[in-house]
């Protein structure tokens, strides 16, 4: 996706508009008055004219003066508002074309956004002598290294690949004077926080910093105060987020599409933790099973659970050992969980007040939270009534497409694998090199490419665990079989790996196969880039060595229980299965 499309309708809050009325503009202390395009320096007016600007958007008119003055700022603006130009244009005026070093760094969550920012810089900076380079994973290092050698003044990239270059010594940030985080909320949802913390150690202490984000949850505000110097807050969103409030959004989906729609939302939002409310026990059981089969760390809470089992589930959620809890309203009464990032209404409650009780479980104790609702066209009227009754603005969002999810999953996985590769020693990497031919041969065989997609999916599932699960796994992980005298010839190992993978594929059910198919294009694209083939070899090696320490999985028989080839059975609408406890 380019800038994420967000629906324009607001339930309970009137029509949405990009123009920001004065009473809805939140400014920092000692505010700088907005400017018009005529107030720009001559060189900037010429650049704006090349870009086809006839006037400044709200975010450009208000944010450009702060960037030009070097006042650290958190800027909240809806996507599609022209925010890229709001920082690119004033940055270009502050760069010295005679100094062939990186002077400005823009961190972005995806390769597409890196391309977008870089393209804007090339248009606005045409003829200025300012050079930019785009840096992201999943492609070769060659053009990026060439850009550094030519003295790129502006570097735009994803944190993982930027960190790779810093560790390799191919990128020097010692002369950086401007740092920008674009779509910071999406960077956090992509899992880039550890990489960004490491990048911080390569940056000079004296610099100006700016953060642009559609939302400012606790994690993003924490990031801002780690990288920016006493930043101010400038908001141009009509749905401006106050730190103690919960944001409310809804997605429209038919009853039959809700489960897959929720999975796609999870992939894009990547919630830290969530309670998902359903109206019936049958629906809770169905949805929990679907989420588990898609690889999520999920459990359920209904009145069928005894008190001991209930307490155990809630303890896991409270201690961040469980990521998603699916529950009914009655079973969910009395749940008090701090730092819950999301509450999701899989079904609109029959009792309007239950909406407030449900969504009140996030955004507590000064933290921000997100409340999402999935509504059918029929339910939309009920949600609108709830919004009016309780004076809640509920914004519409569009459910991500399968293509959106494939893109975000691929980018998140590449970042995860590149981070993993950085932790491997030279001896391990030499071992991976021996498996590069196997990775290439599998990718070139239409029948075997799904085997690569399967091991990539296995690796991706590690990113979906709760933080405490990852920590516990790291502490209890068995040591991998080290290379040494017992090591077989590469050909024999390759044969064993293929045999193991083919046996593994036989155990996959319909949902798991559906999940892994979205990674087939990534397997193909990584195999085509020489610098990235080592990632495929690494996941093959990891899978092989992990398999030596685990028992073989049982092959699913055809037609065996609905957890096999058919997946979980949907509860019927109306009639049976309507118990609401």
DSSP line for 159-191: HHHHHHHHHHTS---TT--EEEEESHHHHHHTT
Cβ neighbour number for residue 375 with a 10 Å cutoff: 22
pLDDT tens readout for residues 52-80:
999 999 999 999 999 999 999 999 886 66
| Spatial strand order in the sheet of 246-252 | 14-15, 9-11, 394-397, 246-252, 369-375, 342-345, 274-278, 324-328, 298-301
The per-residue b/e assignment along 58-94, b for 16 or more CB within 10 angstroms, e otherwise, is bbbbbbbbbbbebbbbbbbbbbebbbbbbbbbbbbbe
In tens, the pLDDT along 445-498 reads 988 999 999 999 999 988 876 544 444 444 444 444 444 444 556 568 899 999
Which strands form 132-135's sheet, in the order they lie side by side? 132-135, 154-157, 104-107, 178-182, 208-213, 73-76, 232-235
Residue with tokens 């489960």: 259
Q: What is the pLDDT of residue 470?
A: 45
Residue 15, SS3 per DSSP: strand
220: tokens are 């993003």
User: Where is 395: in which H helix or E strand?
Assistant: strand 394-397
Q: Residue 354 above 80 pLDDT?
A: yes
With respect to CATH, is domain 20-235 assigned 3.40.50.300?
A: yes
Residue 580 has pLDDT above 80, yes or no: no
Average pLDDT over residues 313-335: 83
Architecture of the 254-397 domain: 3-Layer(aba) Sandwich (3.40)
List alpha helices for 58-206, DSSP H.
Answer: 58-69, 83-92, 111-124, 142-149, 159-168, 184-189, 193-200
Phi, psi for 50 (deg, rounded to 5): -65, -35
Looking at residue 551, its pLDDT comes to 62
Tell me, what's the pLDDT at 86?
A: 95
Task: For the chain, state the CA radius of gyration.
Answer: 25
Give the model's pLDDT for residue 244: 38
Residue 564 in this model has a pLDDT that exceeds 60:
no
* Residue bearing the bigger pLDDT, 101 or 308: 101
Same fold, 20-235 and 254-397: yes
pLDDT, position 221? 86
Percentage of the chain with pLDDT > 90? 59
Q: What tokens were used for 240?
A: 């401006």
Q: Which residues pair with 190 in a beta bridge?
A: none
Residue environment code for 169-189, b if the CB has 16+ CB neighbours within 10 A, otherwise e: eebebeebbbbbbbbbbbbbb
* pLDDT score for 245: 65
Instruction: Report pLDDT for 259.
Output: 94
The whole-angstrom separation of Cα 290 and Cα 285 is: 9
- Does position 120 have pLDDT exceeding 60, yes or no? yes
pLDDT the model gives residue 44: 94
Angle at 251 between CA 248 and CA 255, to 5 degrees: 130
pLDDT tens profile 129-167: 999 999 999 899 999 999 999 999 999 999 999 999 999
Q: Has residue 22 got a pLDDT over 80?
A: no
Question: Around 498, how many Cα atoms within 13 Å sit in the side-chain half-sphere?
Answer: 18
Q: Which range has the worst mean pLDDT, 242-256, 290-304, 391-405?
A: 242-256
**pLDDT above 60: residue 9:** no
Query: Residue 441: how many CA atoms within 13 Å on its side-chain side?
Result: 11
**pLDDT at res. 186:** 86
Beta carbons of 113 and 1 less than 8 angstroms apart: no
Q: Comparing 566 with 370, which gets the higher pLDDT?
A: 370
Residue 228 has pLDDT above 50, yes or no: yes
pLDDT at 2: 37
Q: What angle separates helix 436-444 from helix 520-527, to the nearest 10 degrees?
A: 130
Contact at 8 Å (CB) between 407 and 110? yes
Average pLDDT score over the chain: 84
Four-residue CA torsion sign, 527, 529, 530, 536: negative
Categorize the per-residue pLDDT at 540 as very low, low, confident or very high, splitting at 50, 70 and 90.
Answer: very high
**In the prediction, which pLDDT does 426 show?**
92
Tokens standing for residue 143: 């053009």
Q: Which residues contact 123 (CB under 8 A, 6 or more apart)?
A: 47, 50, 51
Residue given tokens 């319909």 in the structure block: 510
Per domain, the residue ranges of the chain are 20-235, 254-397, 402-547
Write down the pLDDT at residue 391: 86
């Amino acid at each position: 996706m380019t800038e994420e499309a967000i629906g324009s309708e607001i339930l309970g809050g009137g029509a949405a508009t990009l123009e920001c009325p004065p009473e809805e503009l939140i400014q920092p202390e000692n505010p700088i008055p907005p400017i018009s395009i005529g107030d720009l320096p001559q060189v900037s007016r010429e650049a704006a004219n090349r870009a086809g600007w006839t006037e400044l958007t709200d975010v450009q008119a208000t944010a450009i003066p702060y960037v030009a003055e070097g006042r650290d700022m958190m800027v909240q603006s809806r996507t599609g508002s022209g925010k890229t130009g709001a920082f690119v244009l004033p940055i270009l005026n502050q760069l010295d074309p005679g100094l062939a070093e990186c002077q400005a760094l823009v961190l972005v969550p995806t390769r597409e956004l890196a391309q977008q920012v870089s393209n804007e810089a090339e248009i606005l900076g045409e003829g200025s002598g300012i050079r930019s380079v785009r840096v992201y994973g999943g492609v070769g290092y060659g053009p990026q290294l060439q850009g550094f050698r030519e003295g790129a003044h502006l570097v735009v990239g994803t944190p993982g690949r930027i960190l790779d270059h810093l560790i390799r010594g191919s990128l020097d940030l010692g002369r950086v004077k401007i740092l920008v985080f674009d779509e910071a909320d999406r960077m956090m949802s992509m899992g880039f926080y550890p990489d960004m913390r490491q990048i911080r150690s390569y940056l000079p202490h004296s610099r100006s910093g700016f953060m642009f984000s559609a939302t400012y949850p606790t994690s993003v505000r924490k990031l801002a105060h780690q990288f920016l110097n006493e930043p101010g807050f400038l908001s141009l969103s009509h749905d401006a987020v106050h730190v103690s409030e919960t944001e409310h959004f809804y997605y429209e989906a038919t009853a039959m599409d809700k489960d897959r729609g929720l999975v796609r939302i999870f992939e894009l939002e990547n919630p830290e933790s969530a309670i998902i409310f359903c109206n019936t026990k049958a629906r809770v059981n169905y949805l929990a099973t679907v989420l588990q089969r898609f690889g999520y760390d999920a459990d359920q809470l209904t009145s069928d659970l005894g008190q001991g089992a209930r307490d155990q589930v809630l303890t896991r959620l409270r201690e961040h050992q469980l990521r998603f809890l699916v529950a009914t309203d009655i079973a969910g009464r009395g749940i008090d969980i701090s730092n819950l990032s999301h509450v999701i209404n899989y079904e609109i409650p029959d009792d309007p007040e239950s909406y407030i009780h449900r969504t009140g479980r996030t955004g507590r104790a000064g933290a921000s939270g997100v409340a999402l609702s999935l509504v059918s066209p029929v339910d939309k009227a009920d949600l609108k009534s709830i919004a009016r009754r309780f004076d809640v603005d509920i914004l519409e969002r569009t459910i991500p497409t399968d293509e959106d999810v494939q893109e975000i999953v691929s980018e998140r996985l590449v970042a995860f694998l590149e981070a993993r590769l950085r932790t491997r020693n030279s001896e391990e990497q030499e071992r991976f090199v021996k498996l590069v031919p196997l990775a290439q041969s599998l990718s070139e065989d239409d029948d075997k490419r799904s085997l690569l997609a399967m091991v990539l999916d296995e690796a991706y599932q590690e990113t979906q665990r709760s933080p405490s699960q990852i920590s516990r796994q790291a502490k209890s992980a068995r040591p991998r079989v080290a290379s040494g005298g017992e090591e077989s010839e590469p050909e024999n190992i390759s044969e064993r790996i293929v045999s193991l993978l083919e046996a593994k594929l036989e155990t996959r059910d319909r949902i798991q196969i559906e999940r892994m198919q979205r990674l087939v294009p990534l397997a193909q694209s990584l195999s085509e880039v020489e610098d990235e083939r080592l990632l495929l070899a690494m996941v093959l090696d990891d899978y092989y060595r992990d398999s030596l320490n685990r028992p073989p999985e049982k092959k699913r028989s055809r037609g065996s229980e609905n957890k096999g080839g058919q997946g979980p059975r949907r509860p019927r609408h109306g009639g049976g299965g309507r118990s609401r406890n």
